[in-house]
Amino acid sequence: MPATSEIHTHNNCNEKENIKDNSPIEKSSFSLFCDERGYLNQVEYILQHGTRKGDRTGTGVVSVFGSQARYSLRDQFPLLTTKKVFWKAIGSTNAKELSEKGVKIWDANGSRDFLDKSGFTSREEGDLGPVYGFQWRHFGAEYKDMHTDYTGQGVDQLQKVIDTIKSNPEDRRIIMCAWNPKDLPLMALPPCHALCQFYVCDGELSCQLYQRSGDMGLGVPFNIASYALLTYMMAHITGLKPGDFVHTLGDAHVYVNHIEPLKVQLQREPRPFPKLKILRAVAHIDDFRAEDFEICDYNPHPTIKMQMAV
**Would you give per-residue pLDDT tens digits along the chain (310 residues)?**
343 333 333 333 333 334 344 444 454 444 456 899 999 999 999 999 999 999 888 889 999 999 999 999 999 999 999 999 876 543 344 444 544 544 444 444 556 566 656 666 666 777 788 888 889 999 999 998 888 999 999 999 999 999 999 999 999 999 999 999 999 998 888 889 899 999 999 999 999 999 999 999 998 998 999 899 999 999 999 999 999 999 999 999 999 999 999 999 999 999 999 999 999 999 999 898 888 999 999 999 999 999 877 6
**Is residue 149, in this structure, part of any structural domain at all?**
yes
Determine the pLDDT at residue 91.
37
Res 15: pLDDT: 37
- How high is the pLDDT of residue 123? 65
**Are both 21 and 158 inside the same structural domain?**
no
Same domain for 25 and 159, yes or no, is no
Dmax (CA) of the chain: 72
- Label the pairing between strands 241-255 and 204-215: parallel
What's residue 86's pLDDT?
77
Q: Is 192 a catalytic residue?
A: yes
On whether both 83 and 4 belong to a single domain, the answer is: no
* pTM > 0.75: yes or no: yes
pLDDT at 213: 96
Closest by Cα among 140, 144, 162 to 93: 144
Decide if 242 contacts 74 (C-beta within 8 A): yes
Is the domain of 14 the same as that of 140?
Answer: no
Distances (CA, A) of 238 to 62, 90, 218: 40, 19, 32
| Interatomic CA distance for residues 28 and 99, integer angstroms | 46
For the chain, the first-to-last Cα distance in angstroms comes to 40
Residues in CB range of 253: below 8 A, 6 or more apart = 46, 50, 53, 55, 61, 62, 63, 64, 213, 214, 215, 216
Q: Give how many domains the chain has, as a whole number.
A: 2
Cβ neighbors of 19 (< 8 A, separation 6 or more) are none
Are 204 and 135 in the same domain? Answer: yes
Residue-range definition of the domain harbouring residue 7: 1-30
At 220, the amino acid letter reads V
Tell me: do 110 and 7 sit in the same domain.
no
Residue (of 111, 77, 63) closest to 214 by Cα position:
63
CATH at 125: 3.30.572.10
Q: Are residues 286 and 144 in the same domain?
A: yes
In a domain? residue 198: yes
20 and 38 inside one domain: no
Task: Give a yes or no: residue 127 inside a domain.
Answer: yes
Residues 8 and 69 in one domain: no
Considering only CA atoms, give the Rg of the chain: 20
**pLDDT score recorded for residue 308:** 78
Out of 34, 192, 196, 207, pick the active-site residue: 192
pLDDT at 242 (0 to 100): 98
Residues 24 and 147 in one domain: no
Cα–Cα distance list, 45 to 66, 101, 232, 259, 305 (Å): 12, 33, 29, 12, 21
Burial label for 42, CB within 10 Å (0-12, 13-18, 19+), is buried
